[in-house]
Amino acid sequence: MGTTGEAGGRWRSLSPLPPPGRLRTLSLATLANTVGTGLWVTGAALFLTRAVGLTPTEVGLGLTLAGLVGLSASVPLGGLADRRDPRSLRAVLQLAQAVVAAAYLMVGSFPVFLLVATLDALLISGNLAVRAALVAAVGGPEGRVHAFATLRAVANLGVALGAGLAAFALVADTGWAYRLLVLGNVATYLVSAALIMRLPAYPPDRRPLRQRAGRALRDGRFLAVAGASAVLSVHHVALTLVLPLWVVAHTDAPPVTVSALLLVNTLLTVLLAVRLSGSARHAVPAATTMRRAGLVLAAGMLLWAATAVVPTAAAVGLLLAATVIYTVGDLWHAGAGAALAYDLAAPDALGAYQGVDGLLAGLVRAAGPALLTWLIIDGGPVGWLALAGLLALTGLAVPPLTRRALANRTERADRAERADRSPQPG
């Protein structure tokens, strides 16, 4: 019995799933959803080219255009989550995503693909803002950063599981195998929606709203902090797109090293996301953590740059060490970014502010691939040095920007309090 209990304790310490409760339910919904993400991301390109018959150029162009259009849904749907129950809204969006995912089975031409991909991107972008509002409701002011980190760890586990399952379709390499991936993605949306509806409703506060449409987009000091966080998020492109190309074109490391690096990043994210989120629950400590993240990420970029001038064994070792350092910086950035986006937002417009935060990050994700491939793959180690400088300087700028945003929030609160105390007509 003791051995069994110890084994169970070790598993609980390693598992990203929280104890039973609302966060566990939301985590299971996230796990289901991201298993589908892993299935689709792994097999989408092959499904669209080999089963549907699109060219790689059509796939790339369609996804880029759809992604850019999809960003427009982030702020409106985030604002809707402030006026409606985010639980029900997210469940409805998941059902809509299931319908759109199934529509990929009807794609037979580029125009139809572009239409379906655009609807998909609109729902994905809007759903991220609604999810942020739901996470805030489930976690509460003191637990929302912890909840965000928990869901990130669970999401990485789900994507990894989905990618592993997709390998069977890739090995079979038949039209029906790829269509099964699509159906699997549809099923995970349905399971996720059902689990989300097991949460209680979170109706919005009934106090009168003082916000005007687009207020979050006019909050310049919030935009400055969120913009800095978005600039730092370009490191995701460095890991997932630029680093694999760098390993193959500029180092003596074998190509299989790329798989090892991504696996290390995924495992460390699952194991450390929650542990590294505890120091950044509110704006001031989060700003300090963001500064530290920028410096650590910059150090990782410098180590990746050095892999171009060392022999094979040293290159592999440096790549692995840099990826560990990068992952720590990535997790600090994610936790601090969530804390700042929540803590600097107007309390009655959390969804809209999360939508703006997601919009800025999405714009960086859209521009990042072209910029970083030109800067690093064409520019060589100097490109990594330039990126390291950008990350370090951006991280250093976050604390003063945060102090300005907090001062602005205090001024807004004082004005609102004076307005509440002023005599009302009639």
Q: Looking at the predicted structure, is the pLDDT value of residue 374 above 70?
A: yes
Q: pLDDT tier at 422 (50, 70, 90 boundaries)?
A: low
Residue 349, pLDDT score: 85
pLDDT in tens, 94-115: 999 999 999 999 999 999 999 9
Cβ atoms within 10 Å, residue 47? 25
Residue scoring higher pLDDT (100 or 365) = 100
Alpha helices per DSSP H over 71-109: 74-83, 86-103
DSSP 8-state class, residue 280: -
Residue 366, pLDDT score: 85
Residue scoring higher pLDDT (278 or 329) = 329
Q: pLDDT tier at 16 (50, 70, 90 boundaries)?
A: confident
pLDDT in tens, 292-322: 999 999 999 999 999 999 999 999 999 999 9
Structural fold of domain 215-421 = Growth Hormone; Chain: A; (1.20.1250)
Structural fold of domain 18-196 = Growth Hormone; Chain: A; (1.20.1250)
Residue scoring higher pLDDT (58 or 2) = 58
What percent of the chain has pLDDT above 70? 90
Residue 14, pLDDT score: 63
Residues 150-176 have a mean pLDDT of: 89
Same topology, domains 18-196 and 215-421? Answer is yes
**Spans of all domains in the chain:** 18-196, 215-421
Q: pLDDT tier at 208 (50, 70, 90 boundaries)?
A: very low
What are the structure tokens assigned to 122, written together? 């609109």
What torsion do the CA atoms of 163, 168, 172, 177 make, to the nearest 10 degrees? Answer: -70
Residue 11, pLDDT score: 47
* 354-360-366 Cα angle (round to 5): 130
Task: Calculate helix-pair angle for 86-103, 175-196, nearest 10 degrees.
Answer: 170
Q: Looking at the predicted structure, is the pLDDT value of residue 370 above 90?
A: no
**Amino acid at residue number 107:** V
Residues 380-404 have a mean pLDDT of: 96
Task: Calculate helix-pair angle for 381-421, 283-306, nearest 10 degrees.
Answer: 170
Indicate the pTM of the whole model.
0.82
Rg (alpha carbons) of the chain, rounded to whole number: 22
Query: Is the CB of residue 357 less than 8 Å from the CB of residue 341?
Result: yes
Integer Cα distance of 388 and 295 in angstroms: 8
* 121-273-367 Cα angle (round to 5): 35
Query: Is the CB of residue 335 less than 8 Å from the CB of residue 280?
Result: yes
Residue 378, pLDDT score: 87
Residues 62-86 have a mean pLDDT of: 89
Mean predicted lDDT score pLDDT of the chain: 87
Q: Looking at the predicted structure, is the pLDDT value of residue 413 above 90?
A: no
What are the structure tokens assigned to 276, written together? 């590294």
Q: pLDDT tier at 426 (50, 70, 90 boundaries)?
A: very low
Cα–Cα distances (Å) from 412 to 6, 141, 345, 415, in that order, read 52, 19, 11, 5
Residues 188-205 have a mean pLDDT of: 93
pLDDT in tens, 238-281: 988 889 889 988 999 998 888 888 889 988 998 988 888 766 67
Residue 10, pLDDT score: 54
Residue 206, pLDDT score: 55
264 contact partners, CB below 8 Å, separation of at least 6: 320, 323, 324, 327
Residue 211, pLDDT score: 52
